[in-house]
Amino acid sequence: EQLGLNELREKFLTFFESKGHLRHPSFPLVPQGDSSLLLINSGMAPLKPYFSGEVTPPRKRMTTCQKCIRTPDIERVGKTARHGTFFEMLGNFSFGDYFKREATAWAWEFITQVLEIPTDKLYVSVYQDDDEAYDIWTKEVGVKPSHMVRLGKEDNFWEIGAGPCGPCSEIYFDRGEKYGCDRPECFVGCDCDRYVEFWNLVFTQFNNDGNGNYTPLKQKNIDTGMGLERLACIMQNVYSLFDVDTIRNITAHVSEITGAVYGQSDNKDVSLRVITDHIRSTTMMVCDGVLPSNEGRGYVLRRLLRRAARHGRLLGVTRPFLYEVAGTVIRESRGAYPELEEKRDYITRIIRAEEERFSQTIDAGLKILLDMIEDEKKHRSAVLNGADAFRLYDTYGFPIDLTVEILEEQGMSADREGFDKLMDEQKARARAATAALGDFAWVGLDLGLDKDLKTEFTGYTEFESPAKVL
């Protein structure tokens, strides 16, 4: 029998409960009390105070399925088989309790015994200097040396500046030659879709003093992360994340609305996947209290929604439609995230309002941009000047990344420096005006929302700090 994404999530969490872990629901996407991060991007991120020892965890072993947003992957979405801006990360964590031996054995037990993934399809990487992990994998867990790979710091050492850090092990699934690239050295660590990394086990055992001096930690931690969508992709033996059961249903809804049939044209497929991914991430972000704005995480939301709206236009749909697709996202995920159903009306209203706001200017903006492109080409320039890029942003609501993306399709780029300069000037003007209004005057500022939405949900906007500029 084939396991659905929702069943796989449950299998994982139950398995780690059976190993003494406390199951905790996903934390919200908006970090709580952590200003170093715009949006939660991993299972460990909201658990940082437990790892550092600042706060005592409810139990030394925990397991979660965490909602994650990774905008740095945005360019890859729809192009690789394995990246989304939104995904769910399954994780098991040890706060000074078990370490490498148990973490590796349980990971292997879960994937080879519970899920019955054949071991000849699995490969394991270790950090090049981590002989301890290499020995445990080969001698205790029983992975063949021919299925082991040593990788460098970039891929297999986890660290963010000073503080706790350590080597990791990644588990890869070989999807076979047909997914491979042409590089003769294509193997684990290659960027193609053949050997898919799906589970990362981080062994936090050192402290970095900030000058590259590593000392062993007294309290060693385990932090693992497995992409639920990637696991489902492997288990369901499908081509990409977008063919996984619950996600396919979202794409089907987009197809139904746009009339674009999946699998018939490469360009349309990219648009279908981008829309599918972005409506997943934005539905989840709005649910967790993010509102569209021009700064911080509100800007991330706006950028994703507007990018999706523009891809809708590429498929010929000019009316707001994303808010309807949000309904399918809610239906597919409400079992695991009941808050989606509770906030259904709110979520659809916010998304629809943003679509309507953008639809008032997008067509005019697209037309102006095409004129600008013509003009630059006439002058044999492949760079759109900063003033024009800024006008598109300021007057037509085009996030700069959207402008750049459209330019790239025409083999052009934008004068980013010129744009940034105008942007900084505008922000300085806005700050001066805000300062004149006194503390907290920014609450609800420039959200451009309908009045009723604004007053109803000002509580959430307090996360938006004007000082945090992308």
Residues that bind Mg ion (CB under 5 A): 197, 200
CB of 39 to ligand ATP, least distance (A): 13
According to the binding rule CB under 6 A, does residue 104 interact with ligand ATP? Answer: no
Q: Any idea which residue has 């916010």 for tokens? A: 350
According to the binding rule CB under 6 A, does residue 84 interact with ligand ATP? Answer: yes
> Which of 77, 290 has the CB closer to ligand ATP?
77
According to the binding rule CB under 6 A, does residue 87 interact with ligand ATP? Answer: yes
Question: Applying CB under 6 A, what is the total number of residues that bind ligand ATP?
Answer: 16
Among the candidate windows 76-84, 304-312, 315-323, 413-421, which touches ligand ATP by CB under 6 A? 76-84
CB of 306 to Mg ion, least distance (A): 24
In the list Mg ion, ligand ATP, none, the entry touching 225 (Cβ below 5 to 8 angstroms by class) is: ligand ATP
Output phi, psi for 85, to 5 deg.
-80, -25
Which residue is nearest to ligand ATP, using beta carbons? 227
According to the binding rule CB under 6 A, does residue 273 interact with ligand ATP? Answer: no
| Residue 240 DSSP SS3 | coil
Question: Within 13 Å of residue 179, how many CA atoms lie on the same side as its CB?
Answer: 21
| Cα angle 444-447-453, degrees, rounded to a multiple of 5 | 75
According to the binding rule CB under 6 A, does residue 89 interact with ligand ATP? Answer: yes
How far are the Cα atoms of 67, 196, 294, 414 from residue 376, in angstroms, in the given order?
43, 42, 28, 11
| Residue 401 DSSP SS3 | helix
CB of 277 to ligand ATP, least distance (A): 9
> Which of 197, 332 has the CB closer to Mg ion?
197
352: left (phi over 0), alpha (psi -120 to 50) or beta: alpha
Which residue is nearest to Mg ion, using beta carbons? 200
In the list Mg ion, ligand ATP, none, the entry touching 28 (Cβ below 5 to 8 angstroms by class) is: none
Torsion of CA 80, 86, 90, 96, to 10 degrees: 110
In the list Mg ion, ligand ATP, none, the entry touching 198 (Cβ below 5 to 8 angstroms by class) is: ligand ATP
Binder of ligand ATP out of 71, 156, 169, 200 (CB under 6 A): 200
> Which of 269, 277 has the CB closer to ligand ATP?
277
| Residue 72 DSSP SS3 | helix
Residue 268 Cα to chain centre, angstroms = 22
Output phi, psi for 255, to 5 deg.
-60, -45
CB of 418 to ligand ATP, least distance (A): 31
CB of 331 to ligand ATP, least distance (A): 21
CA proximity to 31, closest of 44, 43, 40: 40
CA proximity to 362, closest of 404, 309, 295, 314: 309
Binder of ligand ATP out of 9, 48, 60, 70 (CB under 6 A): 70
CA proximity to 16, closest of 199, 155, 147: 199
In the list ligand ATP, Mg ion, none, the entry touching 199 (Cβ below 5 to 8 angstroms by class) is: ligand ATP
The span from the CA of 236 to the CA of 155, in Å, is 27
In the list ligand ATP, Mg ion, none, the entry touching 229 (Cβ below 5 to 8 angstroms by class) is: ligand ATP
Token pair belonging to 281: 């991430």
The span from the CA of 241 to the CA of 84, in Å, is 8
In the list Mg ion, ligand ATP, none, the entry touching 84 (Cβ below 5 to 8 angstroms by class) is: ligand ATP
Binder of ligand ATP out of 130, 197, 295, 376 (CB under 6 A): 197
The span from the CA of 415 to the CA of 407, in Å, is 11
> Which of 83, 349 has the CB closer to ligand ATP?
83
- The DSSP secondary structure of 282-321, one letter per residue, reads HHHHHHTT----SSHHHHHHHHHHHHHHHHHHHTT--S--
String of contacts with ligand ATP for each residue 218-257, x by CB under 6 A: -------xxx-xx---------------------------
In the list ligand ATP, Mg ion, none, the entry touching 189 (Cβ below 5 to 8 angstroms by class) is: none
> Which of 196, 402 has the CB closer to Mg ion?
196
Is residue 340 a contact partner of residue 287, using CB atoms and an 8 Å limit? yes
In the list ligand ATP, Mg ion, none, the entry touching 83 (Cβ below 5 to 8 angstroms by class) is: ligand ATP
CB of 168 to Mg ion, least distance (A): 7
> Which of 78, 84 has the CB closer to ligand ATP?
84
Question: Within 13 Å of residue 440, how many CA atoms lie on the same side as its CB?
Answer: 5
The residue ranges that bind ligand ATP (CB under 6 A) are 70, 73, 82-84, 87, 89, 197-200, 225-227, 229-230
